[in-house]
Amino acid sequence: MHELDILMEDPRWAACDLENLSAGAIAATLAHLNIDGSLCSLSLLACDDHRIAVLNADFRGKPTPTNVLSWPDEERSAVVPGAPPDPPEPDFDGIICLGDIALGYDTCAAEASAAGKPLANHTTHLIVHGTLHLLGYDHTDELDAALMEGIEGKILGKLGLSDPYRMD
């Protein structure tokens, strides 16, 4: 990774070893999509539910906490539903600025507990999910959701984690 800037506003995230966990999740996502991670930069905000609710209200008009938010540096969505977006191109400095991801601790911890999963595993999934959003993947319709969820499952499998969308 060219640059991974982590702002840890909520100290409870420290127990997850967020720096190594996020670096691994992002690297696995980029490698799976054949994107040179050494050219990529992104920022990660590790906050609490109050802060992510404010961000969710400001940027999505939803004044409630959520698990993960993402802000791509540029719009990369595919034109055709269910098709992968074009891969990002380096800027004039040779860097691919992906954007920003925010994680809300309380919601993430509650979801992990409800699913009977370690917080680190659930957080890994959310970082993969957020990184895919930065790369133009989405789940606004069935075709896009199927593509994104399939990719998430494959990446998580490579990391030794179960597919969160698979119903056994």
Q: Is 160 left (phi over 0), alpha (psi -120 to 50) or beta?
A: left
List of domains in the chain: 3-158 (3.40.390.30)
The better pLDDT of the pair 55, 2 is held by: 55
Which pLDDT does position 147 carry in this prediction? 96
Task: Identify the band that residue 168 occupies on the pLDDT scale cut at 50, 70 and 90.
Answer: low
* Average pLDDT of the residues in 77-105: 94
Cα(109)–Cα(92) distance, integer angstroms: 40
Task: Identify the band that residue 167 occupies on the pLDDT scale cut at 50, 70 and 90.
Answer: low
Cα(120)–Cα(112) distance, integer angstroms: 9
Which pLDDT does position 85 carry in this prediction? 96
Please give the full DSSP string across 27-91, using - where no structure is assigned: HHHHHHTT--GGGEEEEEEEE-HHHHHHHHHHHHS--S--SEEEEESS----SSTTSPPPPP---
- DSSP 8-class letter at 135: T
The mean-pLDDT minimum among 15-19, 23-27, 62-66, 76-80 falls in: 76-80
Kindly report, residue by residue over 114-149, the tens digit of the pLDDT.
Answer: 999 999 999 999 999 999 999 999 998 999 999 999
